[in-house]
Amino acid sequence: MKKVIVLGLLGLSLIANDQFVDSSVCKGCHPMIYKELQDSKHIKTSIYTGKIHKAVWDLHPKKGQGDYNCAKCHSPSDEKIIKEIGILGKGMPTENKAQTKDPISCATCHSIKNIQEHVKTNDNIYNEKAKTYYSAVEGKNSEYKEESSFFGLFKKASGSPFHKIESNKIFATGKVCMGCHSHKQNSKDFTICSMDNIDYSAKNNCVTCHMPKVQGTATSIKITKTHSFHGFAGTHHREDLMAQYLKLNLKKQNTGFEVSVKNEANHPLFLHTLRVAVLKVNITRDKKKIKLEPKEFVKIIANDGKPAMPWEATTVMKDNMIKANENRLIKYDTQLQSGDNVEIEFGYYLVNPKAVKKLSLEGDEVTKYKILKTKHISIK
């Protein structure tokens, strides 16, 4: 009898999925932003939309335990699983609309009120007021208003007829991203990845670099020249927008030359431990190409002296990833000659080629080598 009541209550709370409305609701008045989000990596974060995420999940011991604790970052808009985890302590995703179309929705992100810091992972604290969305613009606490001016001849509207708007500084500083992006520890209390200490006062932040202002109106009602890019440029999508923050240079020396790779980001250049960055230098001399040994930059996590998957790792085996704001100098002992053309190419693999087989991702497009930036220098 008791069991029936508990299940009954559980059923009720699982059905009441109304905290975050679907992103398709925002589409009507924010069509450009909606389209950008649809093409972004933030839509490809669930096991139904993210190939690498699914490949790792399929090997994860939590899968056998029915405990998809990835949900709070990879599909927070799926209120069914979030509630299930909240009540039962664990839960598994089902192929619903939030998982397949809208894992990190407009309403979810725009409802993040604050970030609560924890050792394991941070938490997003969500606004509980329905249909009140946060804005980065200071002093914007608006309800929809229509004002008449010039003796009622002109009507001026402000705010949104659909929702309220409140200012929230964390949307301007980028702190809003840190509930999910800051760091993560595994069950062995080992920190798998970390943004390190973010300097919020720097000229650029998460938002200015990954959501730059682009042409086109933010709403179809109140026309603006630009809006913040909601495609979240990064390693999977629109890396062309990120290349400007990586500076490649060359200095000729008496005994060879030095290439510098400057990371202007306030975090390690690549963050996920599956990534491998590659620096390739080629010299064209008398129409012949001299290929120098490529250099790799990685963070390899390990257990018992062997590279390990994130849930098994207990130590860092190697970390020569280019750090936040670092200008890395790499020496080559090849003597440069006048007339040489040097090509410096900086690229990366999303999935370490050594892990492709284990993840059953052979031949998949996500395993392809990608170029972030190329620079040509002719030696005088």
Q: Which of residues 95-114 bind ligand HEC (CB under 6 A)?
A: 104, 106-107, 109-110
Residue type present at position 93: P
> Which listed range, 5-13, 128-136, 148-156, 329-337, lies at the site for ligand HEC (CB under 6 A)?
128-136
Binding test (CB under 6 A) with ligand HEC, winner from 82, 98, 192, 246: 246
Binding test (CB under 6 A) with ligand HEC, winner from 198, 278, 309, 322: 198
Distance from C-alpha of 346 to C-alpha of 329, rounded to nearest angstrom:
14
30 binds ligand HEC (CB under 6 A): yes
48 binds ligand HEC (CB under 6 A): no
Binding residues among 311-350 for ligand HEC as defined by CB under 6 A: 350
Distance from C-alpha of 95 to C-alpha of 81, rounded to nearest angstrom:
11
Binding residues among 130-169 for ligand HEC as defined by CB under 6 A: 133, 135-137, 140, 142, 158-163, 165
| Nearer to ligand HEC (CB atom), residue 265 or residue 300 | 265
Residues 6+ apart with CB under 8 A from 205: 173, 174, 266
230 binds ligand HEC (CB under 6 A): yes
Residues 6+ apart with CB under 8 A from 358: 59, 309
Binding test (CB under 6 A) with ligand HEC, winner from 80, 83, 267, 299: 267
Residues 6+ apart with CB under 8 A from 147: 155, 156, 157, 158
Distance from C-alpha of 63 to C-alpha of 59, rounded to nearest angstrom:
8
185 binds ligand HEC (CB under 6 A): no
367 binds ligand HEC (CB under 6 A): no
31 binds ligand HEC (CB under 6 A): no
Nearest of 328, 330, 336 to residue 252 by alpha carbon: 336
Is 32 within 8 Å of 224 (Cβ atoms)? no
Binding test (CB under 6 A) with ligand HEC, winner from 81, 98, 265, 278: 265
| Nearer to ligand HEC (CB atom), residue 165 or residue 281 | 165
Shortest approach of ligand HEC to residue 152 CB, angstroms?
21
Is 285 within 8 Å of 337 (Cβ atoms)? yes
Binding test (CB under 6 A) with ligand HEC, winner from 43, 82, 206, 248: 206
248 binds ligand HEC (CB under 6 A): no
CA dihedral 234, 235, 240, 245 (to 10 degrees): 70
CA 371: distance to chain centroid? Answer: 18
